[in-house]
Amino acid sequence: MAKTETEEVENRVEKKLKETGAYDAKSITVLKGLEAVRRRPAMYIGDTGSRGLHHLVYEVVDNSVDEALAGHCTTINVTLNGGGSCTVEDDGRGIPVDEHPSEKIPALQVVMTKLHAGGKFDHNSYKVSGGLHGVGVSVVNALSETCEVEVARDGNVYYQKYKIGIPEAPLKKIGQRKKSGTRTTFVPDPAIFPKTEFKYDVLAARMRELAFLNKGLKIQITDERGEEPKSEFFFYKGGIATFVEWLNQNKNTLYKKPIYFTASREGVEMEFAIQHNDSYVENIYTYVNNINTVEGGTHLVGFKTALTRTINSYANKNNMFKNGKNSVSALMGEDVREGLTAVVSVKVPDPQFEGQTKTKLGNSEVKGLVEQVVGEELAYYLDENSAVAKKVFEKGMGAASARNAARKAKELARRKTALESGSLPGKLADCSMRDPEHTELYIVEGDSAGGSAKQGRDRRFQAILPLRGKILNVEKARMDKILSNEEIRTMISAMGTGIGREEFDASRLRYGKIIIMTDADVDGSHIRTLILTFLFRYMKELVVKGHVYIAQPPLFGIRKGKEMHYAFTNDEVDLLVERLGKHGLNVQRYKGLGEMNPDQLWKTTMDPETRTLIQVTLEDAAEADVIFTTLMGDAVEPRRQFIQENARYVRNLDV
């Protein structure tokens, strides 16, 4: 029986502890809480994969951001070092180093070695603090092979080094410096993390986000691991208003400047930035104490409620519905949010998180506060900016008309049984199992590949849905047009989730894995991108919850005599040629899945034991939104620029 991830981590930890020779009774006394962190790291950082690894950096950076929120820090530097370590440095007050009254050791050592120790629990040092788990830098220390902290405070510089959370020596004074701050350098422990290499792009996206959310804060990230160091500097005077402009950079906005307002009520600080564009999708990003609340919560509910009510109130007050001459007498929420890009950021002293990923705000009082502020401030803005108000209203009216058309399209589709939950599309070859946890849906390009996949699959848990041609580019279409596309209706019907803000329900998904399997050529890449665009814009929750995958069929088949090998890159082909020799070797480049017989397709691409699947993740929803707009939107110049900048990274280009 295969070992669980937890068991593997425990074994690696035990081995490392024995190797260090520092796991004696005295050490256990010091590390009462931290041993638990090493034995059950997922409880503290989510997992020991890529997400948990990068969370270590976020946890240290969050301490520096908290200093900025308290008004004591202006600059944060994050450096990925050549030896695999990460350094986070700030110009805050510096972690206190005087003796802790009850622990009788320096406060720095308490912070680094004791769970739930810090200055964020009584709201005296910090009114609010960021960080999802709030477990602090002690968890980073516990899960690091080595961790070094340098503190500049009161004119002196102090230093202490830890090994798997254990101090190597007492805190010592190593010099003098006028400027205060904290510098932390840590190396993730390979006994905990199977892969310890930080991804620059993932960290840079979070640093950019933090700079947007904390206007005036300067954040620099530098990667010194390659031959040529790369670095980015983030600093936004406009804060979340600039964030909205960045999100809308390749969209046609309806008015020039975002609507921005801020307020503080009952200890809760609130910021809002709003700007409509001419697209047909809404993008609302919500944050609590710098945490991206991807599941929304009470602040999002309050914002949506106030937005709809205020725009309708303004329209009624100004007789914009023309006494019922229009087809609608009131706009619905989805109407006023069509084409909306908004950022809602609240700072809450004691946030309560709910939801599957603990990123849904549950504080009931926040809903009313947000409603009140948005209602007052937006009403005032609309009264003072009638031209903008008119454009927002007209956009909503256009959405309402399209919504009515979409409703009629849905009714027509239902009559044709294309979207009825009890009726599956005829081209779907379903599986016999019904448990979504164990079933897979392959969305396959073309009938030829679909035929091979149907014959080669395991009928118990693998369903096949062949698509004919390219689906509609939903980036440029409203719902009524989307629902008129037969291939999209077929996908919706097969997946079973429904579509639209009122009907979509991820819990009704009929398959645990949605696997996109297209040809390894330009057309196949385009079809895959069109499908991903549809899923990202209208079924994003499936991506967030990890249901979407991309199949990786081999690019080459290499035959020598009766032996058959498969390669996924040109480098693999070269390696195989070098190992079998060129004589008698036949290399075939697969351009279409239909070129493989059912047995080959099963062995290379569909067999869970041998296949390679790429899970589609959403590390940064804002960045993904910008990229989808760039690649699939109306503006040509940003797309040309993107292609020119990224052409050098293309491999195995089919021309």
What residues are annotated to the active site?
445, 519, 521, 523
Matching residue, tokens 């790429």 = 614
Residue pair 70/126 in contact (Cβ under 8 Å)? The answer is yes
DSSP alpha helices (H): ranges in 417-518? 447-456, 479-482, 486-495
DSSP string, 184-196: EEEEE-TTT-S--
Q: Where are the alpha helices (DSSP H) in 549-635?
A: 570-580, 598-601, 621-632
Looking up tokens 């308290």 gives 70
* CA-closest candidate to residue 114, choices 122, 102, 126, 125: 102
**Torsion sign across C-alpha atoms 16, 20, 25, 26:** negative
Pairing outcome for strands 268-276 and 340-347: antiparallel
- Contacts of residue 352, defined as CB under 8 A and 6 or more positions apart, other chains included, come to 361, 362, 363
For residue 493 the two structure tokens come to 């019907």
What is the Cα–Cα distance from 211 to 61, expressed in whole angstroms?
12
Whole-number Å distance between alpha carbons of 357 and 528 = 28
Residue with tokens 């003072």: 384
CA 309 to chain centre: 31
Separation of CA 18 from chain center: 38
In contact, 173 and 158? CB cutoff 8 Å: yes
